Amino acid sequence: MIVRLRRYVRGSFPPAVYLPYALAWALGGTAMFALGQHGASTWRPGWATLATVASFTALLLVVRAVDDLRDLDYDRVHNPRRPLASGAVTIRDVGVLIAAGVVVVLLLNAPRGLALAGAVAALLYLALLLSADRLAHWPSGDALIISALISLPVQLLLGGYLYAALLHDTGRSAGASALLPLATMLAVFTHLELARKTTRVPKAGERSYVTVFGVEATARAALAAAAVATVLALVLVRPWSSGAEAGWLVLLPAVLPVRGALRFWRGGAERWPAADAGFYILAAFTAFFVVDLLERHAP
């Protein structure tokens, strides 16, 4: 089984892709909450941050496994090379991996109070999604809008875990200041969700928002989501304030959605460039971590 699990991780959760992604989101997301909460700028990455990053990576692995189970029938037709769809691993193998991920997350956060509560909330919602799919076969993956809406809380709960971990590590109290970072994260991921499914000619049976909204509307919505994320990022870091000039760095990631849009519209690309959408996530979260780091060392 260990060999099969390794095969699954290499095929569905390649470390070269997901580890930088998990690291950037965990550190950048925490920095977003730190920047948005007065007094939480005292946050310093330390040993507790290692527990957060490790937990977050395990959570993302569980999310990936749950998604693979929910999309199994679709992947057998459209992504037959994925480990589960190809039969290289079994449903039972993926279930064992999920259970192991849950145990790791719970053990890492057992002594961390609020962080444990945040992790449990995310895990319970994933269990609800998987149960609805396995027992009731709902919602159909072809119902794109419904599927997107019920998957939306996953991103928010993952962000909520980072916020809960920050509160535990800094001894601060929860407040409305978390809403702006969560909204910014949501806009960032909305761009990725729309951009990666923007294509001029969907394949037969392919799940793409262009079949619902049309090509132009989907592409414009993807670019608009990135624009909203950039505006929210500026409001969050307030670079016009004294001592916060480093905050202007959050503008840099917007280059990637703009380049993707130009390559799609003017370059005549058949699909929105996947690299531009994917690297935008890394750049956006990395920018927040760098801004937080620079502001903490500003004179």
DSSP 186-253: HHHHHHHHHHTT-BSSPPTT---THHHH-HHHHHHHHHHHHHHHHHHHHHHH-TTSTT-GGGGGGGGG
The confidence score (pLDDT) of residue 186 equals: 97
Q: Which residues have CB under 8 Å from 154's CB, separation 6+?
A: 63, 122, 125, 126, 129
Q: Do domains 1-174 and 175-299 have the same CATH topology?
A: no
Cβ–Cβ under 8 Å, residues 251 and 230: yes
Is 271 in a helix, a strand, or coil?
strand
- Is CATH 3.30.450.20 what the domain over 1-174 is classified as, yes or no? no
C-alpha distances in Å from residue 180, one per residue of 128, 150, 158: 27, 21, 15
Residue 43 region by backbone torsions, left for phi larger than 0, else alpha for psi between -120 and 50, else beta: beta
The confidence score (pLDDT) of residue 72 equals: 95
Looking at the structure, give the CATH architecture of the domain made up of residues 175-299.
Answer: Up-down Bundle (1.20)
Is 173 in a helix, a strand, or coil?
coil
Amino acid, single-letter form, for residue 248: W
Q: Where are the domains of the chain?
A: 1-174, 175-299
The confidence score (pLDDT) of residue 295 equals: 83
Query: Which pLDDT tens digits describe the chain residue by residue (299 residues)?
Result: 889 999 999 999 999 999 999 999 999 999 999 998 755 556 888 889 999 999 999 999 999 999 999 999 999 999 999 999 999 999 999 999 999 999 999 999 999 999 999 999 999 999 999 999 999 999 988 899 999 999 999 999 999 999 999 999 988 888 899 999 999 999 999 999 999 999 999 988 899 999 999 999 999 999 999 999 999 999 999 999 877 899 999 999 999 999 999 999 999 899 999 999 999 999 999 999 999 998 876 65
Q: What's the pTM value of the predicted model, to 2 decimals? A: 0.96
Instruction: Give the distance from CA 187 to its chain's centroid.
Output: 11
- Give 137's DSSP letter: -
